[in-house]
Amino acid sequence: MSKIAVSTTVNGDPAEFLCDAGETLLDVLRGSLGLTGSKEGCASGDCGACTVMLNSQMVCSCLVLAVEAEGKSIATVEGVAEGSVLHPVQRQFLEHGALQCGFCTPGFIVAAKALLEVNPDPDETEIRYWLAGNLCRCTGYDKIVRAVSAAAAELRQDSKAQRSAA
């Protein structure tokens, strides 16, 4: 069986890999690219633990064929922090105790960041519905919702500060 060569951008860096036609993006991220931050909880798009950004749209990487990533840009949980500086969503998850086992956390981080990029001031209902594709079995979601809300407030504050500085 001959492999297919795919060229992509992962977290801003060029990345190339070989895959079989049936392999998913999640398989390749976790396998040959060694990015195990994206988790496989169901392999059917029902838990969101494998959430990544594909050309700026959040998707379940278990529902994307790896070959489809040709020429596209992928952003994973590993690229959310800038170097060793955490993104406000990550920091607020820590500050709020919004994780217990942490297995669903990468998917929530990517999804929450994506929400705040399109809706900087979501209310509780908007947060809950946006995150409905991300299952968490440990927290009951309460602290996750609070963390996302706090991150939104922090980001609004940051952008306000940037605007007044400019």
Nearer to other proteins, 2 or 162 (CB): 2
Nearer to other proteins, 85 or 165 (CB): 85
Residue 50: CB minimum distance to other proteins, A: 9
Site string for other proteins, 81-110 (x = CB under 8 A): x----x---x--xxxxx-xxxxxxxx--x-
Chain residues 114-133 in contact with other proteins, contact rule CB under 8 A = 124-125, 127-133
Q: Does 67 help bind other proteins (rule: CB under 8 A)?
A: yes
**Long-range pairs for 143-146 at CB < 8 Å and ≥24 separation?**
143/96, 143/97, 143/98, 144/93, 144/96, 144/98, 144/108, 144/112, 146/96, 146/98
Residue choice 4, 9, 32, 154 for contact with other proteins (CB under 8 A) = 4
Residue 86: CB minimum distance to other proteins, A: 7
Chain residues 135-154 in contact with other proteins, contact rule CB under 8 A = 135-145
Chain residues 26-65 in contact with other proteins, contact rule CB under 8 A = 30, 35-49, 51, 54, 57-60, 62-65
Residue 162: CB minimum distance to other proteins, A: 24
Nearer to other proteins, 9 or 81 (CB): 81
